[in-house]
Amino acid sequence: MSSVPTYTGATRPTSPSAGDAIYLSDVNRLAIYDGDISDWRLFNSDGVVYNAAAPNELHYTGGIYDSPSASYYLETAPIYHLDASIINGQDGSGNPANSSAIPAWVDRVNLVSGTQATASKQALYVPSDSSANNKAGVRFDGTDFYSLDSSLSPASVTYIVVTKSDPTITYSVGLSGSQFQASYWFKYTNNSDYVFGASKGNFTTQAQLEAPNIYIVTRAGTATEFRINGGAALWSGTQVGAVTVSKLGYNHLNYHTGVIYEIVLCDQELTDSDLDTTISYLGNKYGITTSAVS
What digits encode the pLDDT tens for the residues 168-222?
Answer: 554 443 333 332 232 233 333 333 333 332 223 345 456 677 889 898 888 887 7
Residues 152 and 229 occupy one common structural domain: yes
Residue 107's domain spans which residues?
80-286
Residues 145 and 191 occupy one common structural domain: yes
Go through the chain and tell me how many residues it has: 294
**What is the per-residue pLDDT for 9?**
63
Nearest to 225 by CA among 285, 160, 131: 160
Residues 240 and 99 occupy one common structural domain: yes
**What is the per-residue pLDDT for 60?**
93
What is the pTM (predicted TM-score) of this model? Answer: 0.75
Residue 286 DSSP SS3: helix
Number of Cβ within 10 Å of residue 54's Cβ equals: 15
- Strand blocks (E) in 183-274: 187-188, 194-195, 213-220, 223-228, 235-238, 245-248, 257-266
**What is the per-residue pLDDT for 156?**
80
Structural domain includes residue 266: yes
Structural domain includes residue 172: yes
User: What is the rounded CA–CA span in Å between residue 150 and residue 228?
Assistant: 28
CB 259 within 8 A of CB 164: yes
Structural domain includes residue 108: yes
Residues 16 and 112 occupy one common structural domain: no
Residues 201 and 270 occupy one common structural domain: yes
Structural domain includes residue 66: no
Beta strand 21-24 with 213-220: parallel, antiparallel or unpaired? Answer: unpaired
User: What is the rounded CA–CA span in Å between residue 286 and residue 137?
Assistant: 11
Nearest to 87 by CA among 159, 35, 136, 25: 136
Residue 232 DSSP SS3: coil
Provide the β-strand partners of residue 157: 219
Residues of the chain with confidence (pLDDT) below 70? 1-2, 9-10, 26-27, 34-40, 42, 44-53, 150-154, 167-207, 239-245, 251-254
Structural domain includes residue 68: no
CB 73 within 8 A of CB 89: no
Domain count, the chain: 2
CATH classification at residue 251? 2.60.120.200
Provide the β-strand partners of residue 227: 216
Residues 18 and 96 occupy one common structural domain: no
Residues 227 and 150 occupy one common structural domain: yes
**What is the per-residue pLDDT for 262?**
94
CB 113 within 8 A of CB 149: yes
Residues 140 and 37 occupy one common structural domain: no
Structural domain includes residue 52: no
Residues 26 and 91 occupy one common structural domain: no
Structural domain includes residue 151: yes
